Amino acid sequence: DAGVIQSPRHEVTEMGQEVTLRCKPISGHDYLFWYRQTMMRGLELLIYFNNNVPIDDSGMPEDRFSAKMPNASFSTLKIQPSEPRDSAVYFCASRSDRGGKNEQFFGPGTRLTVL
């Protein structure tokens, strides 16, 4: 398996622009998580899905952030409009709950820089 795939790996954009981050989870995994990592705040859970349905979006910082999972193999995290304080590394992770409480598998991350 190729693991969790994220694209792009790096994104540089200007303030006010729309940014879309993409994630392909591991096939067969029924949970998908979006995290944000910064030096100041560490690793923050933004939102997670179970069977394509958003379960907990309490970590989404504000209305400028939205996430979708139209099918089991694809999810997007969108920021519109983007701001410099959104600069961070965004990770997607997936896991399967079959067989018990299982670990999450993380993608390589997307490093976002908003100028």
100 binds another protein (CB under 8 A): yes
Residue of 66, 72, 106, 113 interacting with another protein (CB under 8 A): 106
49 binds another protein (CB under 8 A): no
Look up residue 65 and give its DSSP letter: E
Taking a C-beta distance cutoff of 8 angstroms, is the pair 92, 75 a contact? yes
Residue of 14, 18, 56, 83 interacting with another protein (CB under 8 A): 56
Tokens for 86?
């959104």
Residue of 5, 13, 31, 78 interacting with another protein (CB under 8 A): 31
12 binds another protein (CB under 8 A): no
Complex with another protein: residue 81 or 87, whichever CB lies closer: 87
Taking a C-beta distance cutoff of 8 angstroms, is the pair 95, 102 a contact? yes
Tokens 């030096």 belong to: 39
Complex with another protein: residue 43 or 115, whichever CB lies closer: 43
What pairs with residue 92 in β-bridges? 34
Sort residue 16 into left (φ over 0), alpha (ψ -120 to 50) or beta.
left
Complex with another protein: residue 70 or 100, whichever CB lies closer: 100
Enumerate binding residues for another protein (CB under 8 A): 4, 31, 33, 42-43, 45, 48, 50, 55-56, 91, 93, 95, 97, 100-101, 103-109
